[in-house]
Amino acid sequence: MSLFYPRYALIIFGSAVLVIGMTCPWTAGAQLPANTRETVDPVQRVNQSGDSDPENSTDPKLKLSPLETLRRFEPSADEEYTLGAGDELSIQYPGRPELASKAMIGPDGRITLPLAGPIEVANLTREAAGQKIGVALSAYYTNLTATVEVMKYGSNHVTLLGDVRNPGLINFDQTPTLLEALSKGGIVARTDGNLPEQCVIYRGEQVLWVDLEELLSNGSPLADLRLRRNDVIFVPAISSRSVTVMGQVQHPGEIVLKHDSTITSILGEAGGLSDTAGSNPELQIVHRSKGGRTQYVHFRDLLKPTGGMEISLYPGDVIYVPKSGMSKVGFVMQQLAPFLSLGSFAAIAAH
């Protein structure tokens, strides 16, 4: 027994060391190294348009988009045009001039040709569309090739809203640019006669705040960055006592700020969320007075019975309520079209 006891004690000691060795790495891992970033709640996440504020990591506000973000947002200068609804096409068949025809792409993205019938060509390049047409007619003709030319760019447009004289669709025959869109829309004159200091570009679920004044003063060509078809450019009104509500609400437009205004009360004055917003949309609050910083907050977080989360609002802020899933690029045409003919957000707010 005396010989067995030391061996038994050694086994117990070794087991204890093994347990401690397995536990220590897990315990150290509970505290992240200083250079490691934790995954945070979406309310505190960083948008693609900026970096988090190191001075206040719990504040979900964002800085202005860096130049690199603007460059990534801008499509390539040699990006090939893709066809869209409303484009008028001329279709030629080399060696068979008698087959030449013209067609307009319908809202469903299709054209209709004799023999071949409906052919979907939306979102295809001209070359790809020609190949698809040739394949569709191969059952009727041998060695037939087709070439497609755009006679009128009916789908190449952006939407301009906000503090402009002529809000609505702006058509282009080439790649649209920001300054061209602002110029064609008739910017409301500022006190100094210059372009607006800032604007917001919505591209589907992407939101980009552009500081025009800074870009122009620095001589950056990104002040006239290239846009994509269906982009929405919003020019905030210079107002001392109002915020603007956009997106999936019953009555988008300007809402006068009061001393006790909250996001929920502002949304209430805008008629509340529409059905297309879903039950818990992630709201985006763009603070114009704070250099375009954007806060993200889920709607339900504002309604918690324990007080929830409330965010301060400032004159000139923009509250954007996305569609459920934030996957629809053309949301503005459906939800904001009713007031395009009224002139501006101010006209809607007055009603």
Percent of the chain with pLDDT over 70: 67
Q: What is the mean pLDDT of residues 141-160?
A: 93
Lowest mean pLDDT among 85-99, 141-155, 219-233, 239-253: 239-253
- The half-sphere exposure of 141 on its side-chain side, counting CA atoms within 13 A, is 18
State which CATH number among 1.10.10.10, 3.30.1950.10, 3.40.718.10, 3.30.465.10 fits the domain covering 88-152. 3.30.1950.10
Q: Is 151 helix (H, G, I), strand (E, B) or coil?
A: strand
Which position has the higher pLDDT, 83 or 18?
83
Same fold, 67-77+156-350 and 88-152: no
How far apart are the two ends of the chain, measured CA to CA in Å?
97
CB-count burial class (<10 Å; 0-12, 13-18, 19+) for 237 = buried
Q: Which helix (H) or strand (E) holds 45?
A: none
Please give the Cα distance from 111 to 25 (Å, whole number).
64
Number of Cα atoms under 13 Å in the Cβ half of residue 265: 12
pLDDT at 267: 94
State the chain's mean pLDDT as an integer: 74
Burial 204-226 (b: 16+ CB within 10 A, else e): bbebbbbbbeebbeeeeebbbbb
Q: How confident is the model at residue 316 (pLDDT cuts 50, 70, 90)?
A: confident
The class (CATH top level) of 67-77+156-350 is alpha beta
Is it the case that residue 319 has pLDDT exceeding 70? yes
Residue range 2-49, pLDDT digits in tens: 444 444 444 444 444 433 343 333 233 223 233 322 222 322 332 333
Can you give the pLDDT at residue 38? 28
| Sequence spans of domains, the chain | 67-77+156-350, 88-152
b/e burial code for range 311-344 (CB count within 10 A of at least 16 → b): bebebbbbbbbbbbebebbebbeebbeebbeeeb
Q: Is pLDDT larger for residue 235 or for residue 105?
A: 105
pLDDT band at 54 (very low <50, low <70, confident <90, very high): very low
Beta bridge partners of 254: 244
* pLDDT given for residue 308 in this prediction: 52
